[in-house]
């Protein structure tokens, strides 16, 4: 059912009177497409929040309960408050469910017609309801009602990047024994002394590390702490393989940070902290040992659900984002959702400057600093996106050395994300950010910046997912504003090793030379992105199919697929 003309006219009138804005034609079309169970692609700054709210009003008027999934608590609270006058005029109760709320407050929010919240909040509350049903001492009614409709903001991030992320409620497992602690510590030290190709190999097909016969023989000959005497040799070998994987492939300030004596994981796509997530299979404990931190116990999974399983429970699923076309086949295959692109209200004035190519990362960093200085001298603002925390801090160090004032935004300053990004359009402002870059927060230009050419965005390195680069570029030139974007590339960028293997990456870097080499390197970087995207897509398909098979098998046995899995520390 689409928005009827009479209702559309009333909706526009209410929005004009209550919010002081007039919905554009594209926003009305977006709301209509969301009603029809689609993914809508709208450029940054085109009014996705209002489009979602209009669709929510219409769906709720039909007697449906709506969940609007946002990226985080801040956006959920902000959007619910901003759209409250609209919902009030239609007699709808709307509110946000956020992390600080207690059980009774959550119950009141969930009882409303439209609920805003991070997808993880809904997922964990759904799992808590499932565990409560098995607890004979709990007679409460479920927290989470049945939602008929879910509107997913930043749909590509939720439905693609986070789709198979397990939401896990863990119970207390066995306490970490002195033998296990000694094993983790010994493995972390031993991993420093092994050699690739001699003691271990990388099993690229199955993933992970495999010790060679020579590596196994060296372990057997090694003197170990007496606390490990009761452990089986297979357990020792597996622990060392995990420690080698952590030492060689899990990188501090890229995959995780250490804060308050804890290992906190960093989301690869958003750059934000994944506070509730742990690596499974003993990898998290291996990282703690590597960092000489207290080692936590292996938890026992009480309940588990992926985000994909969660959203597939909702009959009417739809979403909105600025970047969906790269993954439209996957969205159609997995969720049966068609992507509908909408043109911007005002033709984009964004200028795409030629990519700059460098022999190595050091020269590239120098180029980025120089270009930032030139843009600031011209009266503009600069936003620089980096792939990792470490890279953002390296660039910050070089800027400090050149006395270039700037603001740093990465997972260490995540609580300040919205306020930092909101100021990124002010004259003289240089913002160095990881991929988080404040998705969902408008960057408004000051008049001097607008008159001097707008915000200049620098994409410092190709991301494995091309749409992440496009998201960053979309931070400038919003709603017809002036702006420009430039992509940077170095011959030793990480993407080449990730796509083609380390040996091939070394050859690529060594062969880079002249302008002909630059053109070839640009071509290889695009091929690398396509290769990695294909690999990740296939991995998601395989994981989803395996997960589905396990769920079907458990249901045939009369078991609950979310409560009866035998996973440990997912």
Q: What pLDDT digit, counting tens, does each position of 27-45 carry?
A: 999 999 999 999 999 988 8
Clarify whether residues 275 and 367 are in a common domain.
no
Q: Residue 281 has which token pair?
A: 């299979």
127 lies in some domain: yes
The predicted structure's pLDDT at residue 569: 43
263 lies in some domain: yes
Residue 160 gets which letter from DSSP? Answer: I
Mean pLDDT of 433-443: 70
Element (H, E) at 166: strand 166-171
Q: What is the distance between the alpha carbons of residues 463 and 437, in angstroms, rounded to a whole number?
A: 14
Widest Cα–Cα separation across the chain? 82
End-of-domain residue from the set 455, 490, 525: 490
Over residues 262-317, the pLDDT tens digits come to: 998 887 766 777 766 778 778 899 999 999 999 988 777 778 888 999 999 999 99
Q: Which residues contact 4 (CB under 8 A, 6 or more apart)?
A: none
- Is the CB of residue 64 less than 8 Å from the CB of residue 148? yes
For residue 156, CA distances in Å to 124, 139, 319 come to 21, 38, 8
545 lies in some domain: no
End-to-end Cα distance, the chain: 41
The predicted structure's pLDDT at residue 139: 61
Please report the beta strands in 175-293, taking only residues with DSSP state E, as ranges in sequence order: 200-202, 209-211, 256-259, 262-266, 273-274
244 lies in some domain: yes
End-of-domain residue from the set 423, 456, 490: 490
Q: Residue 32 has which token pair?
A: 């209509």
Q: Per-residue confidence at 568, pLDDT binned at 50, 70, 90?
A: very low
Clarify whether residues 278 and 402 are in a common domain.
no
Residue 174 gets which letter from DSSP? Answer: P
* Averaged pLDDT of the chain: 88
End-of-domain residue from the set 446, 463, 490: 490
Backbone angles phi, psi at 168, to 5 degrees: -130, 130
558 lies in some domain: no
Q: What is the distance between the alpha carbons of residues 158 and 337, in angstroms, rounded to a whole number?
A: 14
Q: What is the distance between the alpha carbons of residues 2 and 64, in angstroms, rounded to a whole number?
A: 15
Q: Per-residue confidence at 203, pLDDT binned at 50, 70, 90?
A: low
Q: Per-residue confidence at 1, pLDDT binned at 50, 70, 90?
A: very low
- What sign for the dihedral angle of Cα 398, 402, 403, 405? negative
537 lies in some domain: no
Mean pLDDT of 330-336: 92
Q: Per-residue confidence at 177, pLDDT binned at 50, 70, 90?
A: confident
551 lies in some domain: no
The predicted structure's pLDDT at residue 270: 66
Instruction: Specify the range with the lowest mean pLDDT, choosing from 205-209, 250-254, 364-368, 395-399.
Output: 205-209
Over residues 385-418, the pLDDT tens digits come to: 998 888 999 999 999 999 999 999 887 766 677 7
What's the predicted TM-score (pTM) here? 0.83
549 lies in some domain: no
Clarify whether residues 53 and 155 are in a common domain.
yes
Clarify whether residues 26 and 123 are in a common domain.
yes
Element (H, E) at 547: helix 515-556
Alpha helices in 62-118 (DSSP H): 73-89, 103-110
Q: Which residues contact 151 (CB under 8 A, 6 or more apart)?
A: 34, 52, 55, 56, 66, 67, 68, 69, 318, 319, 320
Q: Per-residue confidence at 205, pLDDT binned at 50, 70, 90?
A: very low
Clarify whether residues 333 and 355 are in a common domain.
no
Q: What is the distance between the alpha carbons of residues 437 and 460, in angstroms, rounded to a whole number?
A: 13
Residue 325: exposed, middle, or buried by beta-carbon count in 10 A (0-12, 13-18, 19+)? middle
Inform me whether the pLDDT recorded for 570 exceeds 50. Answer: no
Clarify whether residues 50 and 161 are in a common domain.
yes
CATH number of the structural domain spanning residue 382: 3.40.50.300
Clarify whether residues 331 and 358 are in a common domain.
no
Q: What is the distance between the alpha carbons of residues 73 and 109, in angstroms, rounded to a whole number?
A: 14
Backbone angles phi, psi at 66, to 5 degrees: -115, 135
Q: What is the distance between the alpha carbons of residues 379 and 60, in angstroms, rounded to a whole number?
A: 47
CATH number of the structural domain spanning residue 253: 3.90.1440.10
Edge-to-edge strand list for the sheet holding 256-259: 256-259, 262-266, 273-274
Q: What residue has token string 């964004």? A: 350
What percent of the chain has pLDDT above 70?
92
Beta bridge partners of 487: 459
Q: What is the extent of the structural domain holding 35? A: 5-171+306-341
How many structural domains comprise the chain?
3
C-alpha atoms less than 13 angstroms from C-alpha of 205 in its C-beta half-sphere: 1
Over residues 43-98, the pLDDT tens digits come to: 888 899 999 999 999 999 998 999 999 988 888 999 999 999 999 999 999 999 99
Clarify whether residues 55 and 103 are in a common domain.
yes
- Is the CB of residue 99 less than 8 Å from the CB of residue 532? no
Mean pLDDT of 446-461: 95
Q: Per-residue confidence at 482, pLDDT binned at 50, 70, 90?
A: very high
Inform me whether the pLDDT recorded for 208 exceeds 80. Answer: no
Clarify whether residues 277 and 229 are in a common domain.
yes
Clarify whether residues 218 and 292 are in a common domain.
yes
Beta bridge partners of 264: 257
Inform me whether the pLDDT recorded for 457 exceeds 90. Answer: yes
The predicted structure's pLDDT at residue 436: 60
Clarify whether residues 54 and 187 are in a common domain.
no
Over residues 302-329, the pLDDT tens digits come to: 788 889 999 999 999 999 999 999 899 9
Over residues 209-230, the pLDDT tens digits come to: 889 999 999 999 888 999 999 8
Clarify whether residues 182 and 167 are in a common domain.
no
- Is the CB of residue 412 less than 8 Å from the CB of residue 257? yes
């Amino acid at each position: 059912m689409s928005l009827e003309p009479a209702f559309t006219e009333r909706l526009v009138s209410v929005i004009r009177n209550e919010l002081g804005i007039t919905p554009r034609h594209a926003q009305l079309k977006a709301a209509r497409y969301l009603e029809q169970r689609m993914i809508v692609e709208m450029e940054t700054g085109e009014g996705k929040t209002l489009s979602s709210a209009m669709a929510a009003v219409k769906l709720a008027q039909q007697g449906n309960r709506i969940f609007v999934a946002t990226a985080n608590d801040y956006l959920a609270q902000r959007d619910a408050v901003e759209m409250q006058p609209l919902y009030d005029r239609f007699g709808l109760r709307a509110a946000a469910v956020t992390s600080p709320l207690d059980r009774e407050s959550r119950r009141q929010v969930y009882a409303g017609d439209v609920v805003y919240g991070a997808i993880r909040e809904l997922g964990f509350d759904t799992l808590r309801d499932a565990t409560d049903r098995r607890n004979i001492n709990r007679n409460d009614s479920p927290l989470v009602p049945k939602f008929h409709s879910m509107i997913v903001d930043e749909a590509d991030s939720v439905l693609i990047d986070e789709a198979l992320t397990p939401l896990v409620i863990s119970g207390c497992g066995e306490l970490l024994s002195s033998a296990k602690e000694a094993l983790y510590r010994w493995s972390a030290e031993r991993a420093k002394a092994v050699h690739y190709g001699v003691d271990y190999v990388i099993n690229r097909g199955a993933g992970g590390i495999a010790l060679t016969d020579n590596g196994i023989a060296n372990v057997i000959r090694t003197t170990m702490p007496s606390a490990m005497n009761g452990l089986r040799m297979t357990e020792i070998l597996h622990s060392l393989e995990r420690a080698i994987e952590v030492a060689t492939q899990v990188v501090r300030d890229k995959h995780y940070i250490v804060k308050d004596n804890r290992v906190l994981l960093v989301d690869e796509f958003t750059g934000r902290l994944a506070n509730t997530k742990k690596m499974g299979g003993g990898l998290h404990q291996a990282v703690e040992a590597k960092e000489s931190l207290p080692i936590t116990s292996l938890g026992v999974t009480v309940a588990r659900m992926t985000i994909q399983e969660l959203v597939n429970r909702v009959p009417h699923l739809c979403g909105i984002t600025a970047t969906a076309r790269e993954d439209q086949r996957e969205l159609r295959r997995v969720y049966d959702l068609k992507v509908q692109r909408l043109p911007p209200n005002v033709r984009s004035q964004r200028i795409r400057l030629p990519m700059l190519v460098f022999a190595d990362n050091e020269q590239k960093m120098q180029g980025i600093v120089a270009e930032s200085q030139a843009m600031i001298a011209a009266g503009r603002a600069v936003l620089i996106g980096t792939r990792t925390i470490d890279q953002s801090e390296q660039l910050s160090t070089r800027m400090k050395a050149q006395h270039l004032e700037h603001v740093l935004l990465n997972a260490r300053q995540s609580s300040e994300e919205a306020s930092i990004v909101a100021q990124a359009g002010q004259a003289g402002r240089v913002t160095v950010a990881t991929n988080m870059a404040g998705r969902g927060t408008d960057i408004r230009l000051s008049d001097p910046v607008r008159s001097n050419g707008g915000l200049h965005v620098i994409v410092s390195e190709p991301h494995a997912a091309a749409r992440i680069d496009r998201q960053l570029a979309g931070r400038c030139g919003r709603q017809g504003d002036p702006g420009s974007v430039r992509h940077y590339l170095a011959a030793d960028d990480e993407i080449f090793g990730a796509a083609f293997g380390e040996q091939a990456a070394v050859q690529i870097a060594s062969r880079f030379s002249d302008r002909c080499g630059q053109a070839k390197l640009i071509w290889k970087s695009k091929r690398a992105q396509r290769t990695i995207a294909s690999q990740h897509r296939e991995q998601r398909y395989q994981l989803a199919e395996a997960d589905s098979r396990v769920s079907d098998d458990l249901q045939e046995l009369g078991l609950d697929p979310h409560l009866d899995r035998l996973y440990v520390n997912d």
